[in-house]
Chain A
Amino acid sequence: MANKPDTTAQKSTVRRDRGRRHPLATVALILVGLVGTGGAYALFTTSATAETSAQAQAQIDEGAKLFAANCATCHGLNLQGTTQAPSLIGVGAASVDFQVGTGRMPLAATGPQAEQKPVQFTDEQVKALAAYVASTGPGPAIPTADQLEGKNTAEGAELFRINCAMCHNVAGAGGALTGGKFAPPLAGVSATHIYEAMITGPQNMPVFNDANISPEDKANIISYLKYLDETPSVGGYGLGNLGPVSEGLFIWIFGLGAIVGITIWLTAKSN
């Protein structure tokens, strides 16, 4: 396609001779117009889409190879799922980008939940896998950068407290769930991954679709989490912001320990 600009050029606008100039001028004008429009059209549109679609196809093929090599054992060669793992048809690129991009997949071992670990693939490979899985069925796409720009941090904070804080802790420090599962801490998680988690509901997290929390509100929640990340604590040391567990443990061990020590010293006789 890219090598045949004239075929495309023929489809473009046909100029009419208005009979006001020299016939040669008209011919020249038509020629210039045809070549110019056709060339530009070929240059900017056809070749570009052709290249992108070719690239996209190459990316999907690359993803298919990666999937067959790394994921198909559990998820099945056709993404249909096995007794070991769920079907991936229709989970969308966002789900893959989250699970693989945070290192949760490929799973190292079965357990209460997939743990975060060092990412096993390069960014290109993650995107290729995502593109391949997305090509097999419609699903949530990876959010673009402009979807992650929240405008109303205060509203994001309120939505976070209502929808997220019960599991992830009001300071985003995470918390325990049942049977060894836990809601992970949210500090330092990339905005893209937070968005993807909300829209896909990884593992035991419920799905917060766009009808529940609109894309703008999702961005607001992200901007609240980024605010938490960037704003230093005004209080003392947060002890992980885990609340009564870590604070209680600290005061029982160190606070009571100090009191016991001082009491022994007070009542011991001097040498």
Chain B
Amino acid sequence: MQDFLQHMINGLSLGSIYALIALGYTMVYGILQMINFAHSDVYMIGAFAAFYTARILGIENSPGFSTLIILLISSMVACSLLGLAIERFAYRPLRKAPKLNILITAIGVSLLLEYSSQILFGADPKVFPEIMQDSVLAEFGLVQLKISDITVLGVSVVAMLALNYIIQKTKIGKAMRAVSVNARVASMLGVNVNTVISMTFVVGSSLAGIGSVLVGMKYPKIDPLMGMMIGLKAFVAAVLGGIGNIMGAVLGGLLMGLSEEYVVAYFSSTYRDALAFGILILVLIFRPSGLLGKSSVEKV
């Protein structure tokens, strides 16, 4: 039982990271109906941005709350700018092109980021700066509550609440929702669709930036291909929850994290990566619209 609880804590903290990245996929999909393949690499760049910021400021070895904030901000800024640039230069010219072309472009952008990073940063893993001293905060029997897990959960919850506020209460958030329902009508009603799409990329990418710092804190090794697997899992989380659905992404992320943790704990760790695809395939075959998604009818 205590084992079970411990895994639940680990699973939730891993899942909330998946959820943060899944939100980026789902938001872009909600508005553009495209899978932003490059999202996972935006996340990777976020980790490197934080890494180099820490190195330049010389705060690699000074863990603490201020370090966390500084690295989060630097990573978010870097990711937003990158997301903006990708949307502007790669996706926007193709907005009316067939979906297949956009998909191929997205794959191209993803590969470009991965391989140019290998050249820029080197292919070897780098050690991420220590952000929080990882000690056990509280102990209940054999169940440990670590600072890193608490930080991950805390930051994720704050980020998600902020996202919720943006989407529900602010003007740009309302415009986002309008565009995702019907872009044409929204533009007729005076919504600047391009601005909304750009903002969606900014918000989604910053969430990925937050995710990258949290991952760096939990698993302090970063390399140019680090986004691939976690990106795929986050994407699966988004599909599981119902792609295009914000709550779905959060739910899917948490479920992914928990199931992965339990599979590794009770079955075998070698199939950890195949699990995500197994879930994905089952979801798409039996409930393609995901847990919270609505199915749509194609108009003839």
Partners in one complex: no
Which residues in A have some Cβ–Cβ distance to B below 8 Å?
Answer: none
